[in-house]
Copies of this chain bind each other. A is one copy, B any other.
Amino acid sequence: MANDDSWGHWAFAGSEPGPDLNIFSARYDTFIHPVTGKPLRATILETAQWVHVVARTASGDFVLVRQFRFGAREVTLEVPAGLVDTGEDPQAAAARELREETGFVSDAWSDLGAVYQNPASHTSLCHLWLADDAKATGETSPDAGEHLQSLVLSAADVAAAVRDGRIRNPYTVVALSRVLDLRA
Give chain A's interface residues, CB within 8 Å of chain B.
Answer: 1-5, 7-10, 12, 18-19, 21-24, 26, 29, 31, 33-36, 38, 40-45, 66-78, 112-123, 125-126, 144-145, 147-149, 151, 153, 163, 165-166, 168-171, 173-174, 177-184
| Chain B residues within an 8 Å CB radius of A165 | 113-114
| Chain B residues within an 8 Å CB radius of A35 | 147
Q: Which of B3, B41, B67 is A77 in contact with, Cβ under 8 Å?
A: B3
Q: By the criterion CB–CB under 8 Å, are B121 and A8 in contact?
A: no
Q: Which of B5, B24, B43, B174 is A22 in contact with, Cβ under 8 Å?
A: B43
Number of chain copies forming the complex: 2
Shortest 8 CB-CB contacts between residues of A and residues of B: A72-B119, A42-B70, A69-B119, A177-B177, A115-B170, A177-B182, A21-B43, A181-B181
Q: How far is it, in angstroms, between the C-alpha of A174 and the C-alpha of B169 when the chains are bound?
A: 10
| Chain B residues within an 8 Å CB radius of A3 | 74-77, 166
Q: By the criterion CB–CB under 8 Å, are A68 and B10 in contact?
A: yes
Min CB distance A131 to B, Å, is 14
